[in-house]
Amino acid sequence: MLHRQLRNALEEIFGDQFVAAALAQPELAQVVLYDRPEDFKRTVLGFQRLNYREEHRAFVAGLEPELGVALVCSLLDRDTRALVVELGLNYL
């Protein structure tokens, strides 16, 4: 249930097509985690400090697509979440 609610919220923020496309490319998310851990950290911390959907939408509008994919996959894709933990990037 919680996973579905989180996915619904991310679809409202990113758009359902972006979320579906992101989940279809977890390999890209994993490359971002390996190659750009500091950028990923800034993205996660910036995203989680926001409180309102409008703020989240404005934040993701200025986000590089690759970082958006990494963020979505880190929240919804099991293998990417495991990699986040393994690399010690679990800021969520």
State the amino acid at position 6 in one-letter form: L
- Cβ–Cβ under 8 Å, residues 33 and 87: yes
Domain coordinates in residue numbering, the chain = 2-86
In terms of Cα–Cα distance, which of 8, 25, 4 is closest to 68?
Answer: 25
State the amino acid at position 75 in one-letter form: L
* Greatest pairwise CA separation for the chain in angstroms: 32
In the structure, what pLDDT confidence band is assigned to residue 90 with cuts at 50, 70 and 90? Answer: confident
Given a cut of 60, whether residue 92 has pLDDT beyond it is no
pTM: predicted TM-score of the whole model, two decimal places = 0.92
Q: Give CA separation, 18 vs 15, 85, 87, in Å.
A: 5, 24, 25
Q: What is the pLDDT of residues 47-78, one digit of tens each?
A: 999 999 999 999 999 999 999 999 999 999 99
Q: What is the pLDDT of residues 15-41, one digit of tens each?
A: 999 999 999 999 999 999 999 999 999
